[in-house]
Structures are given as structure tokens and as C-alpha cells.
Amino acid sequence: MGRGLLAGLGIDMAARKKSRLERWLSFNQHRKRFGASQAATALRTSDYSALKIQLISDTEQVYTHGATKDITQHLHNLRAEFAGQAELLYYHAQLIVLIRREYQVAEQFALFERLWDSEAEFLREHLNTRWLVAAADTFADHSKDASTRALALAVSLLVNTIKLQETERYLQAAEHLTDQAERQQQLQAGRVALFDGTSAFAVGTDDTLRNLRWRLDALSQTNPMGLVLAELFQRLQTHDTVYQRFRQRHTRAKTAWW
């Protein structure tokens, strides 16, 4: 039975998240962590006060688009995003990268929590929207506190919904269908800036909503309101909303979120 027919019957088609064992056995996952130990060692002994006043001045600002598998190269590329800003913001980003690549997650998340406990006001004021959402996603995935995870998920839902709407507005700004098709190709080919460090969705293949769905599923079983949230999110995929319209544009089964 085809994917489209299954979706038409209302059968859940969201790509399954691999188990911890499957990820551990994946060579690709291990490859993404090669070189992580060197970065992690440097992060353990960082002085927050010094990093707040030390500005990154050895590079021009360039936003990353996607991530290279080589973690050393990825962190080098990422540093350019923070040109002219405090080293502490880059330190925060490095922790998130290590956590996402599942390198000593418990240890890196403990450093991440300690940073936020100590410097929440500085981070809130100086991180752009992109990195505030990345921080929220990290708390949603790893915090032991249920209320923290729920609020973090709310952050992600709010901003990603706005990003969907703004991406659709970018596509619809083209007056002719051929122009709109060209704009959709641009979304696939490179980074299209939206606001405050955020970028448009790569329409058709983007994995952001799949990852959001996984976070929602993990939290929705904790209480009745979680189940209501999951139910309403699912309904948004079937009614005439920006979620349904992006679902109709989606082409990559691996990153389906419905």
C-alpha cells in the first residue's frame, strides 16, 4: 500500500525514531562524533565571566546551512555565526552540537544545565531566536523536569509554526507559478534568512517538524493535556492549515512528521 494511500486513510506515517541501540550500532552516528573528545575537553574548564567579555574577532559572520559530518569542521563553521559576539554564546552552541551528536550526553547536558542556571539572563538577552529554540529543544529532549520539558516544547511549537507561515509567505510572494517553483528550489539549494537568525524550511525534505513530532510524542503521554496537544497537532495536519499545505509539498518519507 503506497505512502499517499496510507496517509489518505489517516494512518500515522511519521518516520520512526531509531532506538538507542540502533543509533549506537550506526557507523554514521559514530562518524559524526569523531573528534568530539577534543572539543568536550576544552568545554569542561571554561570560565563564564571571561567568555562573556571575550568577543569572537577572528572571523566574519557567516550562517551555517546544514551540518558537515566531521564535527571539527562543523564546529569551525559554526564559530563564524558568532563573529563579533561573546565566546560564551559559541560555548553554548558547542554543547548543543555535542549533545545532538550523542557524545557523552549526560555529561554535556549537565554542563548545559549548569550554564543556564548560572547565565540564563545573559543567554536570554544575547542569543538570537535560532539558538534560543535550539536551547529549548535540548531541554525538551533531556531535562528530567516535566514542566521544563513542557515549556520547552511550547517554545519550539510557537517558533516553528511562525517559521512555517513565513516560509509559505516567501513562496507566495512570487506572482507567477514558475517564480514560485524557483523559490522552492532556492529553499532546497541553500539558506534563506527569515528573522533573527532563523531560516526558512527546506520545503519537501526538512526534518525539523519530524523532530518536533518526536518531542511531542515523548511528552504527550505524561498527562491528559499532553494527549490533547498531540491530538490537536494531528488535526492540524488534516485541516486547511499551513501544516497541511506543507504536508502536501513534502516529498521525503524519512522526514515525514504526520
Return the CA Rg of the chain. 19
The per-residue pLDDT for 242 is: 96
Residues forming a β-bridge with 199:
193
pLDDT at site 26: 56
Would you state the pLDDT for residue 6?
Answer: 35
User: Which pLDDT does position 3 carry in this prediction?
Assistant: 42
Predicted confidence at residue 4, as pLDDT, reads: 44
Q: Could you tell me the pTM of the whole model?
A: 0.83
Q: Quote the pLDDT of residue 41.
A: 86
φ, ψ of residue 222 to 5 degrees: the values are -80, -25
Q: What is the pLDDT along the chain (258 residues), one digit of tens a residue?
A: 334 433 443 435 566 677 766 665 554 555 556 678 887 887 887 899 999 999 999 988 998 877 778 899 999 999 999 999 999 999 999 999 999 999 999 999 999 999 999 999 999 999 999 999 999 999 999 999 999 999 999 999 999 999 999 999 999 887 676 778 888 889 988 999 999 999 999 999 999 999 999 999 998 887 888 999 999 999 999 999 999 999 999 999 999 999
What pLDDT score was predicted for residue 225? 87
